[in-house]
Amino acid sequence: MRRTLARAVLAWVSALLTVQAAAQEPPQAPAAARSPERRVPPLAIQSALPDAEAVATALARAIDFLRGAQKESGAFGGSGNMFHHETWANAEAHRSWTVATSGLCLIALLRHGGASPATRTQAERAVDFIVANHDLRRCDDWDTDHVWGLLYATHALAEAALHPWFATGERRAALDAALSKLLARIAAYQSPDGGFAYYAEKEHAWRPEWSTSFTTAAMVVAIDAARAAGHRFDDHAFAGALRAVARCRLPSGAFTYDVMALPEPGDLEGIDDPRGSLCRIPVCELALARGGRPASEAVVARGIDLFFRHHAYLDVARMRPLPHEAYHANSGYFYFFGHAYLGELLPALPPALRRDTAAKLAFEVIKTQEPDGACWDYYFSDYAKPYGTAFAAIALGRAHAALAEPVGK
């Protein structure tokens, strides 16, 4: 009761201060007369944005790091160097995270690793590891983190199936068999509300009852990639996942964290405020577009503006050691996930917005790159640098393609 009353008083005081501040501000010029620079995030105004050459250099450094990060087994990442708050995870959780990390690194290598025999060998070893370990099971009665392995194994093998190295040849049959089993396992863990999540109430049914917008959206993107590679996923189930993502959209431009029957924004400091939703907006918009339900250009542009306008909340959260400890419950591991999926949105944007977004996106990624070429956002055993660098490479690859286009295209 006291907590509810305190929140109500805080909300009232905040609203009063906002009204007073607005009353004291000088009137703004009409929209047509305002300088367009007012919409550019302050950090981008004060810093030079990278050109295509600078992005290519950063991308090459990221790929070089990934080349050296692969293990003898063909995997990327692992359970070594656990932090104290990670000791709850069991062997199956770690196997799932290793498969997920390996899938992300495989995508980065297939897209940006070049055509050298060395890269091909590394890609083949990664495919072999994922195929050998794709039959992931529920990690615990409450822990369904295996969905991340199912998701990124599916996405990676789907891209591999369309790549010249794997489209034909000795690995294709095993790759297709693994994809079929992955899609069946994904369908078995779809929530009744159409979504997917990484935790469940242990006393409920085997099929999790809870789902999140961003897990569901990323799963839609992976399923779409598998369908593009010739695999089937039930149309009704796919439509249910799309409805779950669409239901999370709020008038503020945010997407709720949970898939709710009646979505609501929560309190002013919560995770469902736009400032807590920044890294969910790109993947949700991407999923809806891939599923044939794209938002208008104005709505997508608004989401991109929110992402960069409030980017400081992501900067504050990056590298924090505990989940959701930053403002608006942002967590460090949101960072590169959100930037990678914003990169995936770039090809569908209008040319001017695409170039502008690409430059800002590349800036926010490159500024985090370390001397060894790695990018990471959260201490997470030996997964942090490989998954972060893979996400960064995916974002930088899309940004480079946009910036390398002739102006006016």
Q: How confident is the model at residue 27 (pLDDT cuts 50, 70, 90)?
A: very low
N-to-C CA span, the chain: 58
Residue 18 has pLDDT above 80, yes or no: no
- Topology (CATH level 3) of domain 65-404: Glycosyltransferase (1.50.10)
Q: Give pLDDT, residue 42.
A: 54
What are the domain boundaries of the chain? 65-404
Q: Give pLDDT, residue 41.
A: 52
Q: How do residues 170-182 score in pLDDT, each as one tens digit?
A: 999 999 999 999 9
Q: How do residues 342-376 score in pLDDT, each as one tens digit?
A: 999 999 999 999 999 999 999 999 999 999 999 99
Q: How confident is the model at residue 84 (pLDDT cuts 50, 70, 90)?
A: low
211: left (phi over 0), alpha (psi -120 to 50) or beta: beta
Q: Give pLDDT, residue 83.
A: 74
On average, the pLDDT of the chain sits at 89
Average confidence (pLDDT) over 207-217: 93
Q: How do residues 225-237 score in pLDDT, each as one tens digit?
A: 999 999 999 999 9
Q: Give pLDDT, residue 46.
A: 66
Average confidence (pLDDT) over 232-254: 97
Neighbouring residues of 160: CB distance < 8 A, sequence distance ≥ 6 = 106, 110, 123, 127, 166, 175
Q: How do residues 318-338 score in pLDDT, each as one tens digit?
A: 999 888 999 999 999 999 999
